[in-house]
Structure 1
């Protein structure tokens, strides 16, 4: 069995949570990681564009192409209006972590796709922006929740064991991506 299979199972298992609840301490996380769910839903809003998205993007083992197109548009580079295909694994990680936290509030999307131009501009202003950022591949998102701390969000994403999780406590957001499993930040 490959690591990719285990990672996929961990993310898929988090969707079994549709009838379970989790305390912010994640004491019931093992229950979330068993089985698989029938639907997957993503809820976000953008403070930059004022847009909101609340949709089921996966049913009975299949992604809904039109829903993914809407997610791609929603997570576009708002500075340049460039759109790319967001990796469904990143959306799965975001949705699974959201389920683990047992919140109804949508994520606030701070950054999804970044064009190379935007990434270069941000990199010129901050050492915290990677030259080959997964944001430029549509494989990362920076997210915030009012009702959960950065620590709680990062813990939920890390439980999925499906990608990178960065904690940015001073800026009050969590980075989630579908790259190699790793964690960083405070």
Structure 2
């Protein structure tokens, strides 16, 4: 599904946005920081959930503005699927995810393993694994655990690190990359 809110959008802006996505080359790692700061006219996110079977493929930012309806859909998609709790996802995290995806030059959507986590879910996961933080940024809606079948954990992490927008964790043993909008740092192998 592609989400575009018509409020405040001109036909010319929408056509220009789609033209820009069709002809713009993927940014290089060297200019990732500029891209993340908004050098692009359009931001798009593509994800699916193996847990719920849901898919998301939408433009959520156009010409300097977030699209309210698209953001609402992202919040719902990234909910805690165990409890069905929805939290406003920090859009800085979504921007890092989208910029990283562009740097990887893939059309494949991310598989979202974990977005928002309720305190109950986080506590349950902590009881099962040493790798779950007590005050996880997932509980604030500021983190996502992602996988791409066509790219390694190292490749996805390298793209996210190039964005210099937050934390990046490599979880090679579990085949996923963590991205958050917290302090710029990286860990894992």
Q: 1:53 matched to which residue of 2? A: 56
Please list every run of at least 4 consecutive aligned residues from structure 1 whose deviation after the TM superposition is greater than 6 angstroms.
none
Measured on the aligned residues, the alpha-carbon RMSD in Å equals: 1.8
Pair 1:68 & 2:67 matched: no
Number of residue pairs aligned between Structure 1 and Structure 2: 167
- Report 1:87-98 matches (<5 A): 87-98=90-101
Q: 1:162 matched to which residue of 2? A: 165
Give the TM-score normalised by the residue count of structure 1: 0.86
Give the TM-score normalised by the residue count of structure 2: 0.84
Q: 2:24 matched to which residue of 1? A: 19
Which structure 1 residue ranges, 5 or more long, are not aligned? 1-14, 23-27
Pair 1:37 & 2:43 matched: no
- 1:33 Cα deviation after fit: 4.3
Pair 1:105 & 2:85 matched: no
Which structure 2 residue ranges, 5 or more long, are not aligned? 1-19
| Distance in 2 separating the partners of 1:30 and 1:87 | 25
- 1:157 Cα deviation after fit: 0.1
| Distance in 2 separating the partners of 1:122 and 1:115 | 11
| Distance in 2 separating the partners of 1:33 and 1:183 | 16
| Distance in 2 separating the partners of 1:132 and 1:113 | 13
SS of the equivalent of 1:167 reads strand
| Distance in 2 separating the partners of 1:31 and 1:114 | 32
| Distance in 1 separating the partners of 2:187 and 2:51 | 26
